[in-house]
C-alpha cells in the first residue's frame, strides 16, 4: 500500500469515528429531550386534570345557582298507592307524587323538599336538631364527687338529706310518713360552686345530670320556653334517676310587677309551665330538681311554696379554712415545690372557688413561662395578685341574699 493510500484510509477512519461519535451524542441528546418532553407531558396532564376539576366545581356551582328553590314541608302520611300527604311550610296540606328513589325512605314526620310547580316530593332533608336537646347540657353520671368540693360540708350534708336520701332510700320517707322536698334552691354568689355541688350529687346518686340555663330558655328560644320546659321534664323522666338543674332560675322565676311586654308574658308562660311540671311530679320519684340563683330576693314567691323549691341552701363565700381546702383540691395534680396553702388561703380574702381555680391555672402558667417543671410559692403569689387585680378591675357583681 502506497503512502497516499494509507493516508486516505486514516482520514476515512477518522470521518467514521467522528460520524459515530456525532450519532451517539445526537441519540443521547434525543433521549434527554424525550425525557424532558415526557415530564412536561405529565405536568400538562396534571394541569389539565386540575382545570377539569375546577370546571366541574364551577359548573356544579352554576347549576346550584340556577336551580329554582324547593319548598320545605313535612310528611303527614304515606299512602298505600305510593303518594304522600305533606304539609308545606306555607300551611296547606297536599297529596303529592313521591320520587321513586324516596318511597322507602320517607315516613310520617320526615322533613322533605317539594318541587315548586307540582309539589312532587323530590328530596329527603336532614332532620333539624330539636331545640330542647340544644337547650340542655346532659352528663351521664358526672365525674366530680364530694371530694372535689372544698368547704361546704354543711351544704353537702343538707343536700344528702334533701336529694340523695329520697333518691337512694325513698322507703325511709314512706315509713316515717313524710314527703321529701321536691326541689332545692342553691343560692349564693357566682363561682361559689352551686353547679359543682349539683353535679357531685348526681355523681353520688349515679344519676343523669341535666342542666338548663334559665336566661337561655327565655332569650335564645323565644316563643318556645314553655314547650321546652315540658320537653325537658319529659326527657328528665326518661333518663331517671335524674338531677334536673336549673341555673339562673331568676331569669324565668322573678317577681313581675306587670306584664307589659310580650317578652314578659313569654317569661310568665315559661314560669307557669315550670310550676305545673313541678306540681305534677312525684316527690318520691326518680327526678330531683335543683335551682340556682344569685338573686333569691327577686324570685316569685310561687316558686318557693311548699312542694316546689322548698329547701333553701345558702352557698356562702369560702372562709379561710374552705379556701385552704379548695387550693388543695385544685393544686392536687399540679407539680409543685414548697407551696404553703395556709398562707395562700390567708391572702385570698373575698375570692370564690372559681377564682382559686383560676389562681392555680395562672400559677402553672407562670412556671411554664419560666420553662420550669414545677410551680413554686412565688408563682402562686404572683397568680394571686394577677387574679385579684383582675377581679377588682372587673368589679365583683353585687350579691343579694334573702
Q: Where does this chain bind ligand ATP (CB under 6 A)?
A: 149-152, 190-196, 247, 292, 294, 326, 329, 353-354, 357
337 membership: H or E segment, kind and range: strand 336-337
Q: Which is nearer to ligand ATP, 71 or 354 (CB)?
A: 354
CB of 212 to ligand ATP, least distance (A): 12
Output DSSP code: residue 319. -
Q: Which is nearer to ligand ATP, 110 or 352 (CB)?
A: 352
With 0-12 / 13-18 / 19 or more C-beta atoms within 10 angstroms meaning exposed / middle / buried, residue 327 is: buried
Q: Which is nearer to ligand ATP, 110 or 294 (CB)?
A: 294
Please check whether residue 213 is in contact with residue 257, taking contact to mean a CB–CB distance below 8 angstroms.
no
CB of 328 to ligand ATP, least distance (A): 10
CB of 210 to ligand ATP, least distance (A): 15
Cα separation, 92 vs 86, in Å, equals 9
CB of 149 to ligand ATP, least distance (A): 5
* Strands in 135-293 per DSSP E: 136-140, 183-187, 208-213, 242-247, 287-293
Q: Which is nearer to ligand ATP, 96 or 152 (CB)?
A: 152
The residue sitting closest to ligand ATP, measured at its beta carbon, is 353
CB of 381 to ligand ATP, least distance (A): 20
Q: Which is nearer to ligand ATP, 124 or 354 (CB)?
A: 354
Q: Which is nearer to ligand ATP, 273 or 358 (CB)?
A: 358
Cell readout for 305 is 311554696
* Strands in 25-161 per DSSP E: 71-78, 84-88, 93-96, 111-114, 121-124, 136-140
CB of 193 to ligand ATP, least distance (A): 3
CB of 199 to ligand ATP, least distance (A): 8
CB of 335 to ligand ATP, least distance (A): 19
The closest alpha carbon to 293, from 164, 400, 149, belongs to 400
Please check whether residue 193 is in contact with residue 159, taking contact to mean a CB–CB distance below 8 angstroms.
no
Q: Which residues of 67-95 are buried (b: 16+ CB within 10 A; e: fewer)?
A: eeebbebbbeebeeeebbebebeeeeebe
Q: Which is nearer to ligand ATP, 377 or 396 (CB)?
A: 396
Residue 32, number of CB atoms within 10 A of its CB: 10
Q: Which is nearer to ligand ATP, 216 or 264 (CB)?
A: 216
CB of 226 to ligand ATP, least distance (A): 24
Which residues does 357 contact at the CB level (< 8 Å), separation at least 6?
Answer: 326, 330
Q: Which is nearer to ligand ATP, 86 or 303 (CB)?
A: 303
316 strand-pairing partners? none
- Quote the longest CA-to-CA distance of the chain: 144
DSSP codes, 27-47: HHHHHHHHHHHHHHHHHHHHH
Is the bond leading into 241 cis (omega within 30 degrees of zero)?
Answer: yes
Amino acid at each position: 500500500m502506497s503512502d497516499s493510500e494509507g493516508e486516505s484510509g486514516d482520514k476515512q477512519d477518522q470521518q467514521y469515528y467522528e460520524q459515530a461519535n456525532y450519532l451517539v451524542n445526537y441519540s443521547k441528546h434525543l433521549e434527554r429531550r424525550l425525557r424532558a418532553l415526557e415530564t412536561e407531558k405529565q405536568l400538562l396532564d396534571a394541569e389539565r386534570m386540575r382545570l377539569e376539576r375546577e370546571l366541574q366545581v364551577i359548573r356544579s356551582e352554576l347549576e346550584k345557582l340556577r336551580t329554582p328553590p324547593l319548598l320545605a314541608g313535612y310528611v303527614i302520611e304515606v299512602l298505600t298507592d305510593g303518594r304522600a300527604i305533606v304539609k308545606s311550610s306555607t300551611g296547606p296540606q297536599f297529596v303529592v307524587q313521591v320520587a321513586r328513589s324516596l318511597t322507602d325512605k320517607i315516613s310520617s314526620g320526615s322533613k322533605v323538599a317539594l318541587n315548586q310547580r307540582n309539589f312532587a316530593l323530590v328530596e329527603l332533608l336532614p332532620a333539624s336538631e330539636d331545640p330542647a336537646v340544644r337547650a340542655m347540657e346532659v352528663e351521664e353520671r358526672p365525674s366530680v364527687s364530694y371530694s372535689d368540693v372544698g368547704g361546704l360540708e354543711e351544704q353537702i350534708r343538707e343536700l344528702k338529706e334533701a336529694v340523695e336520701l329520697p333518691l337512694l332510700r325513698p322507703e325511709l320517707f314512706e315509713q316515717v310518713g313524710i314527703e321529701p322536698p321536691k326541689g332545692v334552691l342553691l343560692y349564693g354568689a357566682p363561682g361559689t360552686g352551686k353547679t359543682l355541688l349539683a353535679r357531685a350529687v348526681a355523681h353520688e346518686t349515679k344519676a343523669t345530670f341535666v342542666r338548663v340555663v334559665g336566661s337561655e330558655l327565655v332569650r335564645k328560644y323565644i316563643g318556645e320556653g314553655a314547650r321546652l320546659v315540658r320537653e325537658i321534664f319529659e326527657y328528665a323522666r326518661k333518663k331517671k334517676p335524674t338531677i334536673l338543674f336549673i341555673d339562673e332560675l331568676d331569669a324565668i322565676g322573678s317577681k313581675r310587677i306587670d306584664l307589659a311586654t310580650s317578652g314578659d308574658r313569654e317569661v310568665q308562660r315559661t314560669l307557669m309551665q315550670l310550676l305545673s311540671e313541678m306540681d305534677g311530679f312525684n316527690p318520691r320519684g326518680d327526678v330531683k330538681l335543683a335551682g340556682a340563683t344569685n338573686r333569691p330576693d327577686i324570685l316569685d314567691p310561687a316558686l318557693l311554696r311548699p312542694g316546689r323549691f322548698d329547701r333553701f341552701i345558702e352557698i356562702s363565700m369560702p372562709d379561710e379554712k374552705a379556701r385552704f381546702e379548695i387550693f388543695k383540691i385544685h393544686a392536687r395534680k399540679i407539680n409543685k415545690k414548697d407551696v404553703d396553702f395556709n398562707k395562700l388561703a390567708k391572702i385570698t380574702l373575698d375570692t370564690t372557688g372559681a377564682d382559686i381555680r383560676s389562681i392555680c391555672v395562672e400559677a402553672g402558667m407562670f412556671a411554664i413561662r419560666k420553662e420550669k417543671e414545677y410551680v413554686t410559692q412565688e408563682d402562686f403569689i404572683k397568680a394571686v395578685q394577677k387574679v385579684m387585680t383582675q377581679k377588682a378591675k372587673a368589679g365583683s357583681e353585687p350579691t343579694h341574699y334573702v
